[in-house]
Structure 1
Amino acid sequence: MTRIDNRLNDQLRPVRITLDVLKYAEGSAYIEVGDTKVLCAVSIEEKVPPFLRGKGRGWITSEYSLLPRSTQQRTPRDITKGRISGRTQEIQRLIGRALRSVVNLDLLGERTIWIDCDVIQADGGTRTSSITGSFVALAQAFGKMVQDGVLKYLPLTNFVAATSVGIVNNEKLLDLCYEEDSIALIDMNVVMTEKGEYVEVQGTGEGGPFSKQDMDELMSLAEKGVMQLIEIQREVLGDLSEKIGVIPDEMDSGDQ
């Protein structure tokens, strides 16, 4: 099968991540995955939700939005509809879960980290791109907090990134663009850490059931893509990447 953009079946779209794109955000990243473009911003709030008050640990949450002309036809803002769509809620929760999975929340103190993901242009994979870009913005924000003495240790325990896989015209493909996603028989979003651990797998048999062999082959394809994305994250973060997942001796001995 010849893909729309002439990629190989196991090839990611071109990925570019630009750091520090916003003046006021504690951390920010602009991620481009093919024609999908997402702005990710980190804000730090010196309080936590009511269910965490007095417990000495932090929280990470997310808001996600499609700008009206990020799509082929205008998408109305949620605020004009008077409610957040089910899709938006699902994606916000996914981004929050993905990032919390690689953060030691006990090291944050009673702070909330807000991750805002605004889709500038959508061409498939907006949720996976949001996760991949947000991790970089979050790492940058944490790095600044350590540098400023706000945090003693970098609270990131691992890298995390996400990509999509699917079966289109009986071919197993990595990183689906919109045209491929819209006709996929099987469509999956996969979130993984650098250790190869799964944070979330969202898979749907759009055109019917699929076999365990299909599942295994798609997971292998997703892992290949995620590891390539993590290498890009490492390159963007530079020296800071070497501190991610490193546990200081005093912490390892139980001094949190």
Structure 2
Amino acid sequence: MERIDRRSAEQLRHYTIHRHFQKYPAGSVLIEMGNTKVICAATVEDRVPFFLKGTGEGWVTAEYSLLPSATGVRTQREAVRGKQSGRTQEIERLIGRSLRSVVDTKAIGERTIMIDCDVIQADGGTRTASITGAFVALVEACSTFYEKGNIFPVKDFVSAISVGISHENEPILDLCYEEDSQAIVDMNVVMTGDGRFVEVQGTGEGRPFSHEEMVELLRLGEKGCRELISYQKDILGGQLVWLVGREG
């Protein structure tokens, strides 16, 4: 099978993460996965949700938005419609859960780290790109208040990728929009650096899928996540990589 962009079935799209993309957030990146581009920014606020006040624990949460010009057909701003779509809320919860899975909230202290993920160009995999890029911004943000000798708030790496079964019945990694729109099976995989899964979202779009197909999709997802985590480490550099999982 020849894919749209001539990649092999097990090949990621070309990817890059540009650090320090914005001036004002404590951490910010531009992540590009093929033609998908997302700005991920992390802001540290000295407050917590009401249910955490006085506990000494912090919180990590996320907001996600798609710019009107990010897609081929203009998408109306949700602020104009007066409410978020169910899709946006689902993606925000996914990003937040994924990041909190590798965070020690006690080590944050009574702070909230707000992650903003703004899609400036969409070509499939926006939610998985948001998680992968947001992690790098999160580490940057935590390094701004970390004090030597304490526990670093980020315990492990996390990344995410899409996998699926093409309309030609072949398992493929990192679907672009055209592949995703025609896929028989669509799945998103979120995985930590130690190889554990945070979330697996799989749907039989055209037909049910077998246990054997699920195992193959998870294998592809793990392969993609490991490659992206290796890249996250390269981008963060020795000092910040050394901090992740640091307990003193």
Range of TM-score over shorter length: over 0.9
Alpha-carbon distance between aligned partners in 2 of 1:30 and 1:167, rounded to the nearest angstrom: 28
Counterpart in 1 of 2:114?
Answer: 114
> Mapping of 1:91-106 within 5 angstroms?
91-106=91-106
Shift >6 Å, 4+ stretches: none
> Mapping of 1:1-256 within 5 angstroms?
1-146=1-146, 149=147, 152-168=150-166, 169-239=168-238, 240-248=240-248
Percentage of identical aligned residues = 57
Three-state SS of the structure 2 residue aligned to 1:153 is: coil
TM-score, normalised relative to structure 1: 0.94
Deviations 1:190-233 (A, max 9, x none): 00001110000110000111110000000000000000000110
Alpha-carbon distance between aligned partners in 1 of 2:141 and 2:57, rounded to the nearest angstrom: 17
Three-state SS of the structure 2 residue aligned to 1:210 is: coil
Three-state SS of the structure 2 residue aligned to 1:145 is: coil
Alpha-carbon distance between aligned partners in 1 of 2:9 and 2:61, rounded to the nearest angstrom: 34
Contact 1:128 1:163 in 2 (8 A): yes
Counterpart in 2 of 1:254?
Answer: none
Alpha-carbon distance between aligned partners in 2 of 1:144 and 1:33, rounded to the nearest angstrom: 27
Alpha-carbon distance between aligned partners in 2 of 1:28 and 1:152, rounded to the nearest angstrom: 24
Contact 1:108 1:151 in 2 (8 A): no
Deviations 1:164-193 (A, max 9, x none): 000001010000000000000000000000
| Aligned amino acid, residue 154 of structure 1 | F
Alpha-carbon distance between aligned partners in 1 of 2:180 and 2:13, rounded to the nearest angstrom: 14
| Aligned amino acid, residue 60 of structure 2 | I
Deviations 1:72-98 (A, max 9, x none): 100111100110000000000000000
Alpha-carbon distance between aligned partners in 2 of 1:139 and 1:166, rounded to the nearest angstrom: 30
Query: How many residue pairs get matched?
Result: 246
Three-state SS of the structure 2 residue aligned to 1:176 is: coil
Contact 1:107 1:151 in 2 (8 A): no
Alpha-carbon distance between aligned partners in 2 of 1:42 and 1:95, rounded to the nearest angstrom: 12
Alpha-carbon distance between aligned partners in 1 of 2:118 and 2:244, rounded to the nearest angstrom: 26
| Aligned amino acid, residue 157 of structure 1 | K
Shift of 1:115: 0.1
Contact 1:95 1:127 in 2 (8 A): yes
Contact 1:42 1:137 in 2 (8 A): yes
Shift of 1:153: 3.1
Alpha-carbon distance between aligned partners in 1 of 2:140 and 2:173, rounded to the nearest angstrom: 28
Alpha-carbon distance between aligned partners in 2 of 1:13 and 1:109, rounded to the nearest angstrom: 38
RMSD: 1.1
Three-state SS of the structure 1 residue aligned to 2:144 is: helix
Shift of 1:247: 2.6
| Aligned amino acid, residue 185 of structure 2 | I
| Aligned amino acid, residue 91 of structure 2 | I
User: Residues 206 and 23 of structure 1: is their aligned pair in 2 closer, same or farther, counting only changes over 3 Å?
Assistant: same
Shift of 1:150: 9.6
Q: Which 10-residue stretch deviates more, 149-158 or 129-138?
A: 149-158
User: Residues 63 and 150 of structure 1: is their aligned pair in 2 closer, same or farther, counting only changes over 3 Å?
Assistant: farther
TM-score, normalised relative to structure 2: 0.97
Three-state SS of the structure 2 residue aligned to 1:56 is: coil
Alpha-carbon distance between aligned partners in 2 of 1:108 and 1:3, rounded to the nearest angstrom: 44
